[in-house]
Amino acid sequence: MKKLLKYTLAAAMAVSLASCTGDFEDINTDPYGISDESLTQMNNHIGSKFEGMFLNVINATPAWNYQLQQGLNGDVYSGYMTPPTPFAGNVNNMTYALVDGWNNFIWSDAYNVGTIMPSAKDIKDKVALAGDPNGVKFVYLANIIKVTAMQRVSDVFGPIRYTKFDDYATTGEYDAQDVAYKAFFAELGTAIDGLKAFENDTQFTAFDMTNFGGDITAWRSFANTLRLRLAMRVVNADPALAKAEGEKSLKSDAGFLTDDLVVNTGFIHPVSVISGSWGDVRMSAEMESILTGYGDGRMEKYFNPASDPALNGAYKGIRMGVEIEAKSEYGAHSAVGEVIETETITWMTVAEAHFLMAEAALRGWSEAGDAKSHYEMGVKASFSQHGVGGADVYLADATSTPADFVDAINTANNIAYPSDVKIAYNAGGTNEEQLEQIITQKWIAMFPDGQEAWSEFRRTGYPRVYPVVVNNSGGAIDTDIQIRRINFVSSEKNTNGANVEAAVGYLNGADNGGTRLWWDVAGSNF
């Protein structure tokens, strides 16, 4: 027994000498992870966070993620594109049976690790931690991108988690949409003013994934144009706020976009994958009606002729929410064209800036200039953006109107275009008539950003988007009024139920696709 003790002791000694738990921390550290400390080199603890923001405002990869973030909602509801694919037996977003499993991505692309909200908070925290007063420029830039993204998310759901997001105790709480918008204005205003002092600063260059290349002056002009976009968005809900914020932009020394804002993502445009490789999206009926009706030269940049030999090389669109049995029925209609054949995503165009100013002029906001000339500059900017000639001839066309839609497969889907809106600007028309011209041309120019186009359609009712033929919403969405929003996502309901319930209280109705958002006011635009 004594011997046993001796040997055991010896064994225990041997073990304790041979090993200890001191290196457990090392062992349990992933050698292929990167510590926060290491990231501080070359300011990547701040700079690297911008990448996730640049790649998620409009999701750049993988393509199916974009498809769920925007491709199967805004891109369709805006009247831009329609899938020929009867996903889930044709009972899906297109026929107003909203698919939670899809729409979750609209939310998660803003709130997950490495996307918009956490990255913006991270940048703010890291700057505060570093204590360098010059770091504040990163916070301003992050906030501009954050507003760009969150405006889109809010325009889908209405209330969002925004002003209380950064604090763990309150992060789950939602803001009503007007509260979120007021926060957007405040943050944009601060950024535009604050960045003035950094106009010659080049520290952002290394992290800027856009064609601005870190040019703070250009970023200020973008933020200022964005403010005008937001101001116009709320014009029917809160005209005073709209005018106040809009005139701030019009008077600001930051000016408006002089170059389109284009993100160099390094990934082929997701619509190119969806339309090309997958054949899961095609030209819409509205695009066919308007572009063919107008004889618009941008059509061959935006779309390819239908590959179906029976269509004889015509441009052929699909109406949203129609009965589809098989993908093969409409699969050979017009695919999306060269506009998406690059590794870039456009966030905002010079053309849009002009159309915003045209509307501001129409509404009589001070220093907005002349509606007609901004309208024409907008059209010209769009033509030159796509390398299409003949803008002057186009703008002089006072007779062409959108064509009625004829379905190539099923005549039951045929529908007349419910307006004879023309191209040449009619300054003598009513405000509504002028607005329809401005928004219709803005809609053409903003392609393929369906999210923003859908929002403008909901705000103004222009251009005239055809209603769905099949409505599987179970009465929640009126076919003629069309879809106004998307219900809150299931992941939030699962984990943040009480706050989602409170957010439903901020809505004007039930949490479904038929309820209008705060800025979406029925009736006249004036």
Partner 1 sequence: MKQISKLLFVFLVFTASLHLNAQEITITGTVTSAADEAALPGVSVVLQGTQKGTLTDFDGNFSLEASKGDVLLFSFVGMASQAITIGDASQINVVLLEDTESLDEVIVTALGMKKEKKALTYSAQEVKGDELTRVKQTNPINSLSGKSAGLTITRSSSGLGGATKVVLRGNASTVNNDPLYVIDGIPMMNSGNGSNGEEPGTSVFGGQTGNRDGGDAMSMINPDDIESISVLKGASAAALYGSQGANGVILITTKSGKEGKLTVNVSSSLTFDNVVSLPELQSQYQSPSVGQPVAENGRVPDAKSWGDKTSGLTNNYAEDFFNTGYTSIQSVSLNAGTQKAQTYFSYANTYAEGVMPENRMVRNNLNIKETALFLDDKITVSAGVNLSDQRIWNRPGNGLYSNPLTGLYLNPVGINLDNYKDFEYFNNATNMMDQYATSFDENIQQNPYWLINRNPSKDIAQRVLANVNVKYQITDNFSLQSRGSFDKTFFTFEKQMYGGTDLTFAPATGRYISEKTENTQQYIDLIANYNTALSEDWNLGVILGTSMTKYKIGDQIHLDSGLGGLKYPNEFMVQNFLSTNDLRQSVTNRELQSVFGSANIGFKNMLFIDITGRNDWSSTLVNTNSTSFFYPSVGLTGVLSEMFEMPESISFAKIRASYAQVGNDIPAYATVPLNSVPLGSSGVIPATFAPIEGETLEPQKQNSFEIGTEWRFFSGRMGLDFTYYDTKTTNQIFYIQAEPNPYGYTQNIVNAGEISNKGIELTIDAKPVITDAFNWNTAINFATNDNKVISVHPGLDNGTAIITAPGVNGYQYALVEGEDFGSIQARSVVRNENGLPIVSDDGATLERTDFETVGHAQPDFTLGWNNNFEFGNFNLSFLVDAKFGGEVLSLTESINDFYGVSQATANARNNNGGMIDVVNASGTASQIAAQDYYNQIGGRAGLLGEYIYDATNVRLAEVALGYNIGYQDRFIENIRLSIVGSNLFFFYKDAPFDPNIASSTGMGLQGIDIYGQPSTRSIGFNINVNF
Is the Cα dihedral 360, 374, 193, 142 positive or negative? positive
Interface with partner 1 by CB under 8 A: which range of 60-68, 192-200, 237-245, 455-463? 60-68
Site for partner 1 in 364-403 (CB under 8 A): none
Q: What is the DSSP string of 366-414?
A: TT---HHHHHHHHHHHHHHHTT---HHHHHH--S--PPPB--SS-GGG-
Do 104 and 490 meet the contact criterion of CB atoms below 8 Å apart?
yes
Q: Is 282 in the site for partner 1 (CB under 8 A)?
A: no
Q: Output the smallest distance, CB 206 to partner 1, in A.
A: 14
Q: Is 328 in the site for partner 1 (CB under 8 A)?
A: yes
Site for partner 1 in 307-326 (CB under 8 A): 325-326
Do 313 and 299 meet the contact criterion of CB atoms below 8 Å apart?
no
Interface with partner 1 by CB under 8 A: which range of 143-151, 251-259, 265-273, 437-445? 265-273
Residues 6+ positions from 39 with CB-CB distance below 8 Å: 45, 48
Q: Output the smallest distance, CB 366 to partner 1, in A.
A: 40
Site for partner 1 in 63-82 (CB under 8 A): 64, 68
* Number of chain residues interacting with partner 1 (CB under 8 A): 86
Give 424 or 506: the residue with its C-beta nearer to partner 1. 506
Do 96 and 302 meet the contact criterion of CB atoms below 8 Å apart?
no
Q: What is the 3 state secondary structure string of 358-372?
A: HHHHHCCCCCCCCHH
Q: Is 501 in the site for partner 1 (CB under 8 A)?
A: no
In angstroms, the Cα distances linking 456 to 67, 357, 435, 441, 446 are 20, 15, 11, 12, 11
Q: Is 88 in the site for partner 1 (CB under 8 A)?
A: yes
Q: What are phi and psi of 347, to 5 degrees?
A: -90, -40
Give 27 or 522: the residue with its C-beta nearer to partner 1. 27
Do 189 and 248 meet the contact criterion of CB atoms below 8 Å apart?
yes
In angstroms, the Cα distances linking 62 to 54, 69, 517 are 14, 11, 30
Q: Output the smallest distance, CB 34 to partner 1, in A.
A: 4
Site for partner 1 in 174-213 (CB under 8 A): none
Interface with partner 1 by CB under 8 A: which range of 8-16, 365-373, 395-403, 513-521? 8-16
Among residues 196, 243, 380, 493, which is the contact residue for partner 1, using CB under 8 A? 493
Among residues 55, 106, 188, 254, which is the contact residue for partner 1, using CB under 8 A? 55
Q: Is 29 in the site for partner 1 (CB under 8 A)?
A: yes
Q: Output the smallest distance, CB 76 to partner 1, in A.
A: 16
Q: Is 2 in the site for partner 1 (CB under 8 A)?
A: no
SS3 43: helix
Q: Is 83 in the site for partner 1 (CB under 8 A)?
A: no
Q: What's the rounded Cα separation, in Å, for the pair 69 and 64?
A: 9
Give 8 or 258: the residue with its C-beta nearer to partner 1. 8
Among residues 496, 512, 515, 525, which is the contact residue for partner 1, using CB under 8 A? 496
Amino acid, res. 278: W
Q: Is 17 in the site for partner 1 (CB under 8 A)?
A: no
Interface with partner 1 by CB under 8 A: which range of 28-36, 127-135, 290-298, 431-439? 28-36
Q: Output the smallest distance, CB 196 to partner 1, in A.
A: 29
Q: Is 497 in the site for partner 1 (CB under 8 A)?
A: yes
Q: What is the DSSP letter of 274?
A: I
Of all helices (H) and strands (E), which one includes residue 345? strand 344-348
Site for partner 1 in 135-174 (CB under 8 A): 161, 165-168, 171-172
Amino acid, res. 335: A
